[in-house]
Structures are given as structure tokens and as C-alpha cells.
Amino acid sequence: MSCVPWKGDKAKSESLELPQAAPPRIYHEKQRRELCALHALNNVFQDGNAFTRETLQEIFQRLSPNTMVTPHKKSMLGNGNYDVNVIMAALQTKGYEAVWWDKRRDVSAIALTNVMGFIMNLPSSLCWGPLKLPLKRQHWICVREVGGAYYNLDSKLKMPEWIGGESELRCCVADVLGSVCVDGGPTVVCGGS
């Protein structure tokens, strides 16, 4: 099963047995504007108050105080579109370490006991109604463990997508790194400092 909904195999996912226990309570923030970095951060912390748009704007301004055009992407109206530098600085404000994962490394090297979650940057289409526009976009998603299982907490999903245990997570992350992040989209592994 792919942890990226548009990459999944319907036949595979329909035959997949879901856990029998009642699902845990999962915080899943939904997509607004270009705030996917905010949603990914709040989803990884499982707290809608972990960060606000204003908090990320302050971090952005601190990283690039005297310039209107910066390498730390954002919309000019403060509606989001933040890059990995803003995400990494935001994690540091909460005492967490962010590690930029090199997709050439084997995912079996990730010490999952030290990982709070994954924040991955994936290619995304921009749609206007039923039309898919030919613009290259990026989208931040969160994958993390909740209640003993891993979930895709992509803010574009209607609800969290169950991935499974550690082996399924490693397959999912390897799949994303190997096929979806073809343009070198960053993957941030979030762990305690």
C-alpha cells in the first residue's frame, strides 16, 4: 500500500485488512490556503495549537529580516508556502531536532524509537475546478505513529490514512523517497533533541 493516495493501488488497498481495534484519536489538520507546512507541523505534534500562521511568519521574518524576496518561500500575503528552513527552525523552537534525510540512504537506518514523525515535501498538482493546471507545486505532508500504528496525515486527505507497523512505514518512506520525491523534495525526520 502506498502512503501517498495518488500513488496507491486500489486493488491492493481494498484487500488490505485494517486493524481490528478501535482506531486511536488522531489530530488531523485539513488543508487551508498554502499552509501545508503549518498543517504538517501541527499534525506531527498532534496539536492544533503547536504552531500558528503568525508563528511561522515570525520564523520566516527572523530567517530573512530585511528582504521582500527570499529563498525561504512564502506568499507575499503571508498565506504560507514555507520551505524546509522554516520547518526546521519551527521544530527547533519546540526543542526538537530536524534531520534532512538523504534519499540515497537506506530507510532501515532510521532509528524509529528516536523519531516523532516525518515531514515530506512532495510534488503536487494545482487544480482549478476539474482542470489540472500545468504548474509545478510542492506540498508538505506528515507521517507519524499514533497508538502503535503509522498514519499518513496529509492535510489534503479527508481522514488519516492507516499505513501499518514499522515494516510498512519503512516501505512507505522508501516508496516516497524512491518514486515521488524524484526532484529531491526534502524529507525531514523529526526527533527529540
Residue 154 annotated in active site: yes
Catalytic residue among 3, 139, 172, 181: 139
Query: How far apart are alpha carbons 95 and 87 in whole angstroms?
Result: 13
Catalytic residue among 3, 154, 181, 190: 154
Catalytic residue among 3, 28, 36, 72: 36
Residues assigned a catalytic role? 36, 139, 154
